[in-house]
Amino acid sequence: MIAASTTTEMPDADWWRGAVIYQIYPRSYQDSNGDGVGDLKGITARLPHIAGLGADAIWISPFFPSPMKDFGYDVSNYTDVDPMFGSLSDFDALIAEAHRLQIKVMIDLVISHSSDQHAWFVESRSSRVNPKADWYVWSDAKPDGTPPNNWLSIFGGSAWAWDPTRMQYYMHNFLTSQPDMNLHNPEVQDALLDVVRFWLKRGVDGFRLDTINFYFHDRELRDNPALAPERRNASTAPAVNPYNFQEHIYDKNRPENIAFLKRFRAVLNEFPAIAAVGEVGDSQRGLEIVGEYTSGDDKMQMCYAFEFLAPDVLTPERVAEVQRGFAQAAPEGWACWAFSNHDVVRHVSRWGADVLDRDAYAKLLSAILLTQRGSICIYQGEELGLTEADIGFADLQDPYGIQFWPEFKGRDGCRTPMVWDDHATQAGFSHAEKSWLPIPVEHQLRAVNVQQGVETSVMEHYRRFLAFRRQHPAFAKGEIDFLPVEGAVLGYERRFGNETILCLFNMSGEAVTASLPEGDWQVLDGHGFDSAVDAQTINLPAWGAFFARHA
């Protein structure tokens, strides 16, 4: 286990506010042993890349023991490392190297459900009277043998699976091999909080909480009401999934979760400078729930909803709408924004299918993301401008995609391995003959070594812009005030202390002009965008941006 630091300097408890967090999908970051799957030693070896970008922290998706039915989001042991990824000592080494490079380490906690191979569930399903009989959500069938209610699984079909040993149904919001835990049981809460302490003692700096609004279910198991077609939103589940046909007020989003999140925060407060960010998966009440979970200082420091991860094309109006909606729903809260992650189509493809200059588009989107009010998550490969990979059915790994193919191709297209060297085997990801997912040729052409040192590359833009962001505290900590939308131009001011920064973005492929607000403005440079000012008129090239500070 990592030795405690001997420094007398007090850690910054507020480090997370405005932090840039780099998400690592461990299966796909770097393979160190040649089995075609990424691992912890591989991540450790590549930490200098992340430090060189200028990220403040990493978030590592699950690396715990798992049968990998959902690739780690089905945990069979919460306090160990799957041999596929290495060992606890490998994790300790990763923590030590990250901290040496001044990178915080956050890990993914999946505690709404476990694997059906977890010892807790094995015992729970063995009988109706064992000590863990009530650790998962069990219910008798209706008199006709059908499930207890109409709840649906995100992965398709009923959220209930029949167990012949107990002669009861158990609840699963996701795969049938991912039974939901019963957090109404205080013993379950205590066991999960012990898991939190285990990793905090190991040296982690925080957690990303998977499906944070799924922790509790309605004790009475009431049916969810139907959702009117005009209110259906495909941000949480794809449009072809009937999960969108219900208003999910009983199978998740329960008020009892607030008390548990306070218990969780109390554990975090036992250690210095720990932070957590929660994933709120709800297509109707996402921002409202984020507000509930981040209000005050006794629950989550940050949460994110799916507004910027949705299929809706990003427009000036959309950016302003989301930020204003968050400010209204969570006036005391703090968001953590991302445009891409391991569950959605990469944003350059999701929003830019018709864009001719993908590099310019990727740079503009990064500048918009990195100047939002809130903390920021960057997903691995985003800094290379990677597009969504086209994975054929024969190579598909994701059970979600297999279930809904071909209308929904699943999540494999955003999970393909990181590309490091266009001349190396598997683009430098692995020396295996075959990686767990194929690496597209178009990704290899965008490898790190190809972009390294090329001033006009997307990767060098990320480095440059992150350095620009660090120079101005208003970007990390400040308020945001939106200007009236002028055509394709998104405009806002970021304010912190005595600093006010004007941000203008041309969200189109054509050159446009914008008006400079009244006042004495000093044009800022160092961000990599070119624009010209003529009196009160700013000339913005296609996918261009402009920044100025109030003098």
Amino acid symbol at 195? V
Catalytic residue status for 270: yes
pLDDT above 90 (res 533):
no
> How many Cα atoms occupy the beta-carbon half-sphere of 505 within 13 Å?
27
User: 101-132, pLDDT tens digit by residue?
Assistant: 999 999 999 999 999 999 999 999 999 999 99
Catalytic residue status for 256: no
What is the rounded radius of gyration, in angstroms, for the C-alpha atoms of the chain?
Answer: 23
Q: Which of 305, 339, 335, 115 is nearest to 211 (CA)?
A: 305
Can you spell out the DSSP letters for 348-390? HHHH-TT-S-HHHHHHHHHHHHTTSSSEEEEETTGGGTPPPP-
Q: Where are the domains of the chain?
A: 478-550
Which helix (H) or strand (E) segment holds residue 266: the answer is helix 257-268
Looking at residue 4, its pLDDT comes to 44
Total-model pTM: 0.96
Catalytically annotated residue among 194, 223, 270, 479: 270
User: 400-442, pLDDT tens digit by residue?
Assistant: 899 999 988 999 999 999 999 999 999 999 999 999 999 999 9
User: 300-346, pLDDT tens digit by residue?
Assistant: 999 998 999 999 899 999 999 999 999 999 898 999 999 999 999 99
Q: How far apart are CA 219 and CA 239, in angstroms?
A: 29
Catalytically annotated residue among 39, 210, 251, 382: 210
CATH for 478-550 (3.40.1390.10, 2.60.40.1180, 3.40.50.1370, 2.60.120.10): 2.60.40.1180
Mean pLDDT of the chain: 95
